[in-house]
Amino acid sequence: GDSVTQMEGPVTLSEEAFLTINCTYTATGYPSLFWYVQYPGEGLQLLLKATKADDKGSNKGFEATYRKETTSFHLEKGSVQVSDSAVYFCALTYNQGGKLIFGQGTELSVKP
């Protein structure tokens, strides 16, 4: 079946460090890929998405590229801030379904 695998956390970085959170997926078709972020005490919110191969999603300085050849959608940010501390979830869905398959989440902690 379809699945999403993320790198284990927690990831601890200093402010202004470069961030990469790895995400790989297994899918029978051609899904859309998402990164959601969960700030402490809140629900998940969409960070970025990509709907087809080679698409790059970007938002708030984060970006991820849909790589069909490596079945990956790694999240990157050039310079993290303390306010980026959160749990990040990679997810996939097929069109019109709305049913997301989530990875296990990766906690990011950014220290001043």
Residues 17-36 within binding reach of other proteins (CB under 8 A): 32, 34, 36
Nearest to 9 by CA among 87, 97, 92, 110: 87
Q: Minimum distance from CB of 101 to other proteins (Å)?
A: 8
- Asked if 88 is part of the footprint of other proteins (rule: CB under 8 A), the reply reads no
Residues of 8-24 as b/e, b for ≥16 C-beta within 10 angstroms? eeebebeeeeebebebb
Q: Minimum distance from CB of 106 to other proteins (Å)?
A: 10
Alpha-carbon torsion (28, 30, 35, 38), positive or negative: negative
When binding is defined by CB under 8 A, the residue of 10, 61, 78, 97 that contacts other proteins is 97
Tokens 């698409």 -> residue: 55
Nearest to 21 by CA among 69, 95, 91: 91
When binding is defined by CB under 8 A, the residue of 13, 27, 102, 109 that contacts other proteins is 102
When binding is defined by CB under 8 A, the residue of 28, 29, 40, 43 that contacts other proteins is 43
Q: Give me the residues that bind other proteins (CB under 8 A), please.
A: 4, 32, 34, 36, 41-46, 49, 51, 89, 93, 95-100, 102-105
